[in-house]
């Protein structure tokens, strides 16, 4: 008998489905939105593998429901804060994910968001349709932002995506790249003349702060009132990693009171962010809906990699990318 695999939504590339179909008995959820919790708990029962997404929380309850035959979890993401790794490891389940293949597109999106925020692109775009341009008919200080030339950039977490962002920012003639993290990373830093600083120093000196660390127990809420208070009033805050790294109420307050100048967020809490959330009303906040890796080519590669991770694990072969 072929191993049974659950795919938690139907809108994944055909190439990934083909890889799975050849070797597995598939149950593909007929929905273009995340699987409901109830369906997840029901459908995982008896499966040997699951193809899931960052929208699917795989915790103790789900794993208990799955049964001991569950051998592999393949998540189509590089982040894995939606997976309870402790519970997964206890059960000897292997996990595949998609590092590497989304580094460049996510860095590209991070740079796009940084430019959009420091040059107020979305606000400026709106000024045409809302009549703001007609009213002022252009002004010497109208829609002025900070830009990147001469900016001191602080990167929180110089991992592969952080490094890829730093490399892409250098040609914009930034003044300096600083970074912080648990460990100094001399080899990566040397490629961008990055200076290793403490978290506080990074907050105090950066004109642009870019969050590039994963969400875990150490990084959860690492940006709170104290941290925003340390930042410069002209500082721009960019987050394309995970919303949970930030105490979002503290961020809203910092944006409202002018403690910092602006924020650009690809990730927030919760996701999806309600349309009437306070953040959506702030002119100095650029919001995009978690699209860091969203190029067709990248998402296709991520999907086939996830499928191959699952098939290989079920066949007892090494995975293209095994997390644990």
Choose, by CB under 6 A, the member of 30, 86, 183, 218 that binds ligand GLV: 183
CB under 6 A: which stretch of 128-136, 137-145, 176-184, 188-196 binds ligand GLV?
Answer: 176-184
Answer yes or no whether residue 77 interacts with ligand GLV by CB under 6 A: yes
Answer yes or no whether residue 194 interacts with ligand GLV by CB under 6 A: no
The smaller minimum CB distance to ligand GLV, of residues 117 and 240, is found at 240
Three-state SS for the chain is CCCEEEECCCCCCHHHHHHHHHHCEEEECCCCCCCCHHHHHHHCCCCCEEEECCCCCECHHHHHHHCCCCCEEEECCCCCCCECHHHHHHCCCEEECCCCCCHHHHHHHHHHHHHHHHCCHHHHHHHHHCCHHHHHCCCCCCCCCCCCCCCEEEEECCCHHHHHHHHHHHHHCCCEEEEECCCCCHHHHHHCCCEECCHHHHHHHCCEEEECCCCCCCCCCCECHHHHHHCCCCCEEEECCCHHHECHHHHHHHHHHCCCCEEEECCCCCCCCCCCCHHHHCCCEEECCCCCCCCHHHHHHHHHHHHHHHHHHHCCCCCCCECC
CB under 6 A: which stretch of 29-37, 77-85, 135-143, 201-209 binds ligand GLV?
Answer: 77-85
The verdict on whether 183 is a catalytic residue reads: no
The residue count for binding ligand GLV (CB under 6 A) is 13
> Residues 246 to 305: which contact ligand GLV by CB under 6 A?
292-293
Choose, by CB under 6 A, the member of 213, 262, 265, 303 that binds ligand GLV: 213
CB under 6 A: which stretch of 56-64, 144-152, 177-185, 311-319 binds ligand GLV?
Answer: 177-185
The smaller minimum CB distance to ligand GLV, of residues 252 and 291, is found at 291
The smaller minimum CB distance to ligand GLV, of residues 213 and 265, is found at 213
> Residues 94 to 113: which contact ligand GLV by CB under 6 A?
102
Answer yes or no whether residue 74 interacts with ligand GLV by CB under 6 A: no
Answer yes or no whether residue 135 interacts with ligand GLV by CB under 6 A: no
Answer yes or no whether residue 78 interacts with ligand GLV by CB under 6 A: yes
Catalytic residue positions, numbered: 290
Which residues contact ligand GLV (rule: CB under 6 A)? 54, 77-79, 102, 157, 159, 181-183, 213, 292-293
């Amino acid at each position: 008998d072929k191993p049974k695999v659950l795919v938690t939504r139907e809108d994944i590339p055909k190439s990934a489905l083909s890889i799975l179909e050849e070797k597995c008995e598939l149950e593909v959820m007929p929905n273009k939105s995340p699987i409901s919790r109830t369906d997840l708990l029901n459908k995982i029962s008896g499966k040997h593998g699951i193809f899931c997404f960052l929208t699917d929380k795989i915790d103790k309850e789900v794993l208990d429901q799955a049964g001991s035959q569950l051998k592999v979890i393949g998540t189509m993401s590089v982040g894995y804060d939606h997976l309870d790794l402790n519970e997964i490891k206890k059960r000897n389940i292997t996990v595949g994910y998609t590092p590497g293949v989304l580094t460049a597109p996510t860095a590209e999106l991070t740079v796009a968001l940084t430019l959009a925020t420091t040059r107020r692109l979305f606000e400026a775009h709106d000024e045409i349709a809302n009549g703001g341009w007609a009213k002022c008919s252009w002004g010497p200080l109208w829609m002025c932002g900070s830009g990147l030339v001469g900016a001191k950039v602080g990167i929180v977490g110089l991992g592969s995506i952080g490094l890829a962002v730093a490399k892409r920012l250098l040609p914009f003639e930034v003044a300096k790249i600083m970074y912080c993290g648990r460990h100094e990373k001399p080899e990566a830093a040397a490629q961008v003349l990055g200076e290793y600083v403490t978290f506080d120093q990074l907050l105090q000196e950066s004109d642009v702060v870019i969050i590039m660390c994963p969400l875990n127990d150490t990084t959860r809420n690492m940006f709170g009132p104290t941290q925003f208070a340390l930042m410069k009033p002209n500082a721009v805050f960019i987050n394309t990693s995970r919303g949970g790294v930030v105490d979002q109420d503290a961020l809203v307050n910092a944006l409202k009171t002018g403690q910092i100048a602006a924020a650009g967020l690809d990730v927030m809490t919760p996701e999806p962010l309600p349309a009437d959330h306070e953040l959506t009303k702030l002119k100095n906040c650029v919001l995009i809906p978690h699209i860091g890796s969203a190029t067709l080519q990248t998402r296709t590669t991520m999907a086939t990699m996830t499928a191959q991770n699952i098939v290989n694990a079920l066949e007892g072969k090494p995975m293209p990318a095994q997390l644990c």
